[in-house]
Amino acid sequence: MKVEGKNAVVELFRSNTQIDKLLVQNNAKNDLYSIIGMAQKKHVKISFAPKEALDRESEVKNHQGIIAYVNGFSYASLDDILNEAKQRNQEPFILLCDGIADPHNLGSLIRTCECAGVHGIVIPKNRACQVNDTVIKVSTGACFNVKIACVTNLNDCIRWLKERDIWVYSLEANGSSIYDVNLTSGLALVVGSEGFGVSQLTKKLSDEILSLPMHGKVNSLNASVAGALGIYEVVRQRETK
């Protein structure tokens, strides 16, 4: 797996993930020297190459002169996520991604979760985007600083969470206003796919459907935008509790 771009590579080093090697553009600019220094301290192999070579290697076509190579992405478990909340002495706060297919949306959601202090993210293995080079780039490396679990069945995951007294709320149209529901207890927030929203069974398993107010002619928001607004309403309530 390739991690591209300055911010993403910096976060990769900070996460203590095992890095196989670093490819740096010849005549590196000053802002890459600090990353080279990180690589040298960790004894990571560094290769220098012309820009054309990095262009050929780049998957996202915006490498900013640096590409790191890692041996795949390391997913967390559901227990890891709950332990993270316990270690912070906080009520669990989890994002469930129900069929998010666009890596840009997933990357944006991961970045928002990391900024908001979400304890973990859950994505399904099938019919959904996994953590890949584009997701890492869009998240600016945030995926290395937030726990992400990949499960076989999202609905089984919901049942598992509910058995542990975690409320499950789906973000969808025609539900209760998100501003009228107490979101300070342990919860999982479900964001649906770009084309179909939250699946029917997932909605049935949810404790409640929550909606954002819509006052325009367009009746839906981009998945990553809706997720961000929902996430920060949880943050707002918890900080003003």
Q: Specify the CATH architecture of the domain 78-239.
A: 3-Layer(aba) Sandwich (3.40)
| The domains spanning 2-69 and 78-239 adopt the same CATH topology | no
pLDDT at residue 62, rounded to an integer: 86
CATH 3.30.1330.30 is right for the domain spanning 2-69: yes
* pLDDT band with cut points at 50, 70 and 90 for residue 110: very high
CB 68 within 8 A of CB 18: no
- pTM for the whole thing? 0.88
Ordered by start, the domain boundaries in the chain are 2-69, 78-239
Give residue-wise pLDDT tens across range 9-23. 999 998 878 899 999
* pLDDT band with cut points at 50, 70 and 90 for residue 67: very high
Give residue-wise pLDDT tens across range 132-164. 999 999 999 899 999 999 999 999 999 999 999
Give residue-wise pLDDT tens across range 207-238. 999 999 988 877 778 999 999 999 999 999 99
DSSP H helices, the chain, are 6-14, 33-41, 51-57, 78-87, 103-116, 133-138, 154-162, 200-205, 223-239
